[in-house]
Chain A
């Protein structure tokens, strides 16, 4: 057993897509692990397989072969409903395009994962607390179109946090933001990592974003090209 506990352990993960007659090897046997509380960036050009890898880590897709352990549980063999439960409890998603429900308030958006978790009693209080922790305590009844891009991404981060997941999975979290808001979002994510110890995985092609990570994994053509450990 390592000194730090592995949150994620991936062994020889591969994914093959069938596109008509051709087989596309999106991932060709990737192995790595992530420690609890670590900040990891996954980088690579488009087509390198980083989106596929992120979908696997986020339990949105099932690998063709290989094993994926999340907090010691082999998730690559779970069925649809079990995967939904894992996504709900253990993973917080932050997307490039925010992906908020347009007609719901910030509060309702943050409450959504709690609803799917079947939490009824203190749902509102927990959602409000999550919004306060990202600095939007005064905007909980605003709808997404009444918020700036940076604020919308904060709502998305609050939504990712609210179920106290093991990892936060951020896919190009600053891709749709101006550089100032982008910096603020990165700062917020790192603060959360420091104060709450949430493991943070950032998928990006932007070296500046990746620069905040303690470790960077470089992907190319579905394989790990190299790792750099920083700080």
Chain B
């Protein structure tokens, strides 16, 4: 058992346009990447459950081999910077990924 925080070298979130926030999980070691990918813990359904949102809000989920990366995108409820929004760059939304347990 290991957490994503231990297996990935980069875990980040950032705006992808004004209506979405995209998340990147990148492993430096290929073995760690294979372990994360093959566990199937991270999936469209898995991240929807983690963030406690309907699966339809996860607009994209991709395994990106050239970068040893898993990438998914969540639709914002309101565009970035709207009244009431507090993360205009979308840059602090990744924290819940740290403690995800990978067998």
Are A and B part of the same complex?
Answer: no
- Chain A residues with a Cβ under 8 A of chain B: none
Residues of chain B touching chain A, judged by Cβ–Cβ distance below 8 Å, are none
